[in-house]
Structure 1
Amino acid sequence: MNLFYYPAACSLADHIALIEVGLPYKLLSIDREKKTEDGRDFLLINPKGYIPTLEMDDGTILTENQTILAFIAEQSGKLLPDGGILRWRTFEALAFMSSEIHGSYTPFFRGFPEPEKERAREKLMKAFAILADQMGDKAFLVSDEMTIADCYLFWVLMVAPKSGVELPGNLQNCLDRMKAMPSVIQALKEEGLS
């Protein structure tokens, strides 16, 4: 499998998951002109033009973080509870982070004016408070076992300093613990971030 990525972008979640479950993969970076590291036109691979994008050995393409993370979990039989409410809480957390947190970072990446950034900060503070309540005193977001939601959580927490929003204590502690995990250390190293 090929994982198309930008260093430190949200594709880091999928990268961590691939390492954590032990599936073989090759990282291929994308440049600003939408060319892949191996010389292809990325827009022919993924017309949406953004990452993450996962290319299977047979040429099948998957996009969208939630979908790729679920695929990785299904292929490996890891990082997703088999059934019951924790499985659905994992998907719920992924959807919430994707819709309420990820999109709220846009003003900080694209040079929006300060009033837009302030509205985004307010939304982020509320969203992080909700995640902190959901996590409570568990080791990870939905349980004491790591799930695909935690792979995405790592990225949304890692990016928080760019917004100027302080993380609730349990989320900051989770981020600090995850930074010491072998899969996270390896992913950060492979993306040139350590």
Structure 2
Amino acid sequence: MKLYYSPGSCGLASQIALREAQQPFDLVKVDFATKTTPEGDYYKVNPKGFVPALKLDDGDLMTEGAVIVQWIADAYPQYKLLPAFGTKARYKALEWLNFVASDLHKGMAVMFSSLIDAPSKSQYAKGSLFSKFEYIDEHLSANNYVLGDEFSVADAYLYNVLSWPPRVNLDISGYASIQQFMARMERRPSVRDSLIAEGLID
């Protein structure tokens, strides 16, 4: 398999999931500015131009991070990265994956936009993002992971997006439960190895 990524972007969750499933894969770095990889034109791999993209061994391509992590969990069920089909816990996990993708990830994307000025970003964060951080912090105050005491791919995606606020000057250090969750995640070998592979830590 090949995972196309850009350092620190939303491909991190897919990489964590692959490592949790103990699957071999190659990392292919995408240059966002030029939409190229060492292989050439990235649009020829993924016409959307976004990361992550996961090219399977049979040549099929999967895109959209929230879907890729679900596929990894379902392809390697022995690692229990998502609850079983049909269970309430499964739908709770999907609820969190969708919340992170549609509300948190999309909201954070605004903060990275070069089309929006700093005062507008500040107002947006106050009006939209901090309420989401509060919701997450409250949930994590009673849970080690999104689903309780067991890791799932929803945690990989949540960790991925919660790593972005410092990059856009959003201070979330006051959310103690979020900070504890981030530290807990960073003790997992899959997370450490992914951060090292992307050059985010030594």
User: TM-score, normalised on structure 1?
Assistant: 0.93
CA distance in 2, matches of 1:106, 1:95: 15
Change (3 A) 1:99 1:119: farther
**1:30 and 2:30 matched:** yes
Q: Deviations over 1:63-108 (max 9, x none)?
A: 0011100000011113101142111111111111111111112233
1:149 is matched with which residue?
154
2:118 is matched with which residue?
114
The runs of 5 or more residues in structure 1 that have no matched partner are none
Superposed displacement of residue 163, structure 1: 4.2
CA distance in 1, matches of 2:63, 2:21: 19
1:18 is matched with which residue?
18
Corresponding pairs, count: 193
Which of these residues, 75, 79, 82, is aligned with residue 80 of structure 1? 82
The 5-angstrom pairing of residues 158-169 of structure 1 reads 158-161=163-166, 162-166=168-172, 168-169=175-176
Q: Deviations over 1:104-136 (max 9, x none)?
A: 122332232123212331211111122223333
CA distance in 2, matches of 1:93, 1:165: 23
The 5-angstrom pairing of residues 1-194 of structure 1 reads 1-31=1-31, 32-37=33-38, 39-77=39-77, 78-83=80-85, 84-111=87-114, 112-122=116-126, 123-161=128-166, 162-166=168-172, 168-194=175-201
User: TM-score, normalised on structure 2?
Assistant: 0.90
CA distance in 1, matches of 2:40, 2:68: 21
Percentage of pairs with the same residue: 34
Asked if the contact 1:86–1:143 (Cα under 8 Å) also holds between the matched residues in 2, the reply is no
Q: Could you list the runs of 4 or more consecutive aligned residues of structure 1 that deviate by over 2 angstroms after TM superposition?
A: 132-136
Superposed displacement of residue 191, structure 1: 0.6
The runs of 5 or more residues in structure 2 that have no matched partner are none
Task: Give the secondary-structure state (helix, strand or coil) at the position aligned to 1:57.
Answer: coil
Q: Deviations over 1:131-167 (max 9, x none)?
A: 2233332110122100010000111111122241415
Asked if the contact 1:102–1:156 (Cα under 8 Å) also holds between the matched residues in 2, the reply is yes
CA distance in 1, matches of 2:30, 2:73: 25
CA distance in 2, matches of 1:14, 1:105: 18
Asked if the contact 1:104–1:124 (Cα under 8 Å) also holds between the matched residues in 2, the reply is yes
Asked if the contact 2:140–2:181 (Cα under 8 Å) also holds between the matched residues in 1, the reply is no
The residue identity in structure 1 corresponding to 2:125 is: R
What RMSD in Å do the two structures reach over aligned CA positions?
Answer: 1.4
Task: Give the secondary-structure state (helix, strand or coil) at the position aligned to 2:151.
Answer: coil
CA distance in 1, matches of 2:198, 2:124: 27
Superposed displacement of residue 23, structure 1: 1.3
